[in-house]
Structure formats: structure tokens, C-alpha cells
Structure 1
């Protein structure tokens, strides 16, 4: 089976569940060999590896704490070493720590910045050493970077807003090498962390123009476009795949 990403290698951070898992499966379906990082759910990561192999692609799950820069760099180098190249990086790993500004402790702040801000930078820094022309960097942000509709989102919103600057800076710096960098801001998406039948789901749906949650596969489709040849002239862009949440 051939696809538009046939012969390419993709790394999806935090790829064992939710949006990350959907992205990994979509990229594999488009023809890429796919590696993913995970922190705790080795069982889910192993299941996903088998699903990717079932569609005829190579797969690798690498344990790595995104808060640890050395672990991040080692994960990227391992993927590039085992697969022989690296073409697509999807910065998906993140933490969602919320609460009133006055009650958030330094550990929560440091963890959020380490995983949501520093890790995407370090992953990109390590990945571009292996990328050639046609390389792709896609970061997964959040709709609340543009519209924080509930109290308690200041820390998380701040961390996701930082990805806008990272994306634009990478696009400008790497464009001469034929490498693109883009940002996808999902809206409410039906995952374990934010189920469509959760306690606040009705209110959250009401903020969207479409009146529903996204399926993770819908976010993965946007990432696949940016990762593929049809997205080759898109760089430095932010795509709000949010059901009209920010409209």
C-alpha cells in the first residue's frame, strides 16, 4: 500500500492516546513509518505500535519524559538512528494543569513550562538536525490560547500561546531549507482527558459554532495535510480546527 507519505518517517510526541494516537494512525495510513513517545502508558503505546504494523508500516514506541531535555534529545536521535531518517515531527505531548492563579504552585508552573513550551523547542531543535528538504514540524496547540472561556486557564493558555512564537520563528529560520513549521489549535475534542460526555461537555459544546466535539481523527486529518505534499507551501500558519470556538 502506497500513500503520500510513503518512505517518510514521522515522530509523534505523546502519541499513545487521544489526538496523538489518532495522528500516528493517520500518518501511518498515509504511508509513513511512525515512532511515538510516551511517559506512562506503555500498554497503550504497545497497542498502537501493533496497529501501525498491521497496516504495513514500521513502528517504534520510545519512553521519554518530555520535561527532561536529555530524554527528548535521546528519543529523537534513537528514532532517526533506527529508521535512518526523520521527516515529520508532531509536537503533541502536553500537560493540562489548571487552577486559580494565586493557588498554582511553582512545581505546577515549572512542569507546564517544561512540557508545553521547552519540550516542543527541544524536540524541534533535535529533529531539524536530521531533517532535509521537505521536512515538516507540526505543533498541537489549543483553542484556549485564543479564547480562555473559563477561570483557571491562565497557566495553560500562556503555555500554548508560546507555540505561536515558536512556529513563526521556526518557519522563518527553516524556510530556506525547505522545512515547514505550522500550528494546529484543536477545539474541544473527544478524548479520555476531555470526553464528549464529561461533566462540562454541554457548556463546552455551546461555545462552538458547530455545537459538537471533534473526533480525534478530524484533528489528525489537518495534521496529515500539513505533513504531506499538499501542505508544502503552508508555513508559519495557525489553523484553528476548533469547530468555530474562536469565531
Structure 2
């Protein structure tokens, strides 16, 4: 059997990159999807791989046809998806009296809507045992008034994960959001590598005791 495959949506130098490198070090093949070609290429070059173990694509996750095509192209190249990791969110420093409806909807399209596109594109390549993970945040429960759309995104994507898991669990495909209860840092419990390890651990939960939300508090 060929080695397992992870597709990372919104791949970049932070948690998503750490997820990719961690799984690559365990023998996984890696597909990277990001909007910044330079960042995606740099991440791909930083992942040691044999043969065609790392592939990458560039697309705006809110451009549904382009994002769907990119996920499909990566999956076609590998022939399967064992883990889909969804990482994007939009940060906008606007409080509820400044934030416009159009801005809120644009941000939700990034942090929530793009999960629908990613899952729908990935589903034909996923089979029993495949997993979907999402980088969550304590902003879902403790939103900042100064960045009002972020809390909406994180609460929304966590809720959507519950629905995705309920829809796919009968097929043996499970979904989980990891709620990061801390601020990412270069040292300590909330480094991207530590958070990535928590995400991978959540993907490897016992299916008989599956939780669709797993908190990470360091």
C-alpha cells in the first residue's frame, strides 16, 4: 500500500507548515495548497521527501472553482487523501461598530466557507479511516472586540466540523477541531510544532470515543 497523504489547506510557515513537516517525517506524502506562491514553494522546499512526496498548488481558498480544482489536482496526483488539514482564517482589526457586513461575510468565507469547498473536493479521495482536522482557537469562546470577525469564524468553523463529522462518520471518516487555548509563540507550549503535534494526536483519537472538538491548553 502506498504511503498516506495529507493535504494542507492554507499552507504556510506557521502551524500548517508544522503539520506538514511532522507528517512528512513520519513517512506521509504531502500536498500543500496556499494563496502565496512564494510561501508555499518555500515550505515545499523545506520538507525532505523521496520521489514525488511533496506537491503544491496555489489558489485563493475563497475562489470556489479554483480551490476545488486545486484540491482535486493534488489528490489526483497522489490518488488518495488520508488527512485533510484546514488552517485558514482572516484577521481584521475591526470592532463590531466598525466592521461592515460585507467585511464580516468576506472573512467568514475564508475561515468557514472554504472548509465546505475543501471537504467537498476531498471527499471522493477519502475512504474509511480518513480524517479532517481544523485549527481552532479560543476566540470561538473568548472573542476579542477588536477583531470581531475572528471569533465568528472560529465559532462557525467549529460548529461546521460537528456537522461534517455527523455526515461522514457512517463512512468511517471523522472530523475534529482543535481549540488552541493560547497565543502562538516561538517558545513554550504554544509553538507551531507543539500545536501541530496536538492536531495530529487529535486525528489519531480512538474512533469509539471520538470528540469533534479537542482543546489544546499546552
TM-score, normalised to structure 1's length?
A: 0.80
**Equivalent residues in 2 for 1:118-137, closer than 5 Å:** 118-137=113-132
Shift of 1:33: 0.4
1:227 to 193, 203, 207: 203
Residue in structure 2 matched with residue 152 of structure 1 by the alignment = 146
> Which structure has the larger Rg?
1
Distance change in 2, residues 1:169/1:130 (3 Å): same
- Give me the whole-angstrom Cα distance separating, in 2, the residues matched to 1:17 and 1:234: 32
Residue in structure 1 matched with residue 85 of structure 2 by the alignment = 90
Distance change in 2, residues 1:188/1:234 (3 Å): farther
Residue in structure 2 matched with residue 165 of structure 1 by the alignment = 159
Residue in structure 2 matched with residue 203 of structure 1 by the alignment = none
Residue in structure 2 matched with residue 242 of structure 1 by the alignment = 217
- Give me the whole-angstrom Cα distance separating, in 2, the residues matched to 1:88 and 1:231: 15
Residue in structure 2 matched with residue 33 of structure 1 by the alignment = 29
Shift of 1:23: 0.9
Give the root-mean-square deviation of aligned CA atoms. Answer: 2.1
Residue in structure 1 matched with residue 18 of structure 2 by the alignment = 22
8 Å CA contact 1:8–1:32 kept in 2: the answer is yes
- Give me the whole-angstrom Cα distance separating, in 2, the residues matched to 1:142 and 1:50: 28
- Give me the whole-angstrom Cα distance separating, in 1, the residues matched to 2:102 and 2:17: 28
- Give me the whole-angstrom Cα distance separating, in 1, the residues matched to 2:105 and 2:152: 13
**Which stretch shifts more, 102-111 or 172-181?**
102-111
In structure 1, the gaps of 5 or more residues are 1-5, 197-211
**Equivalent residues in 2 for 1:47-196, closer than 5 Å:** 47-52=42-47, 54-56=48-50, 58-148=53-143, 150-186=144-180, 187-190=182-185
Number of aligned residue pairs: 216
Q: Secondary structure at the match of 1:93?
A: coil
Q: Secondary structure at the match of 1:103?
A: coil
8 Å CA contact 1:38–1:45 kept in 2: the answer is yes
8 Å CA contact 2:96–2:145 kept in 1: the answer is no
- Give me the whole-angstrom Cα distance separating, in 2, the residues matched to 1:93 and 1:231: 26
- Give me the whole-angstrom Cα distance separating, in 1, the residues matched to 2:32 and 2:117: 16
8 Å CA contact 2:202–2:214 kept in 1: the answer is no
Q: Secondary structure at the match of 2:110?
A: helix
- Give me the whole-angstrom Cα distance separating, in 2, the residues matched to 1:13 and 1:59: 14
In structure 2, the gaps of 5 or more residues are none
- Give me the whole-angstrom Cα distance separating, in 1, the residues matched to 2:148 and 2:22: 32
Question: Following TM superposition, where does structure 1 have runs of at least 4 consecutive aligned residues deviating by more than 3 angstroms?
Answer: 230-236
- Give me the whole-angstrom Cα distance separating, in 1, the residues matched to 2:40 and 2:19: 13
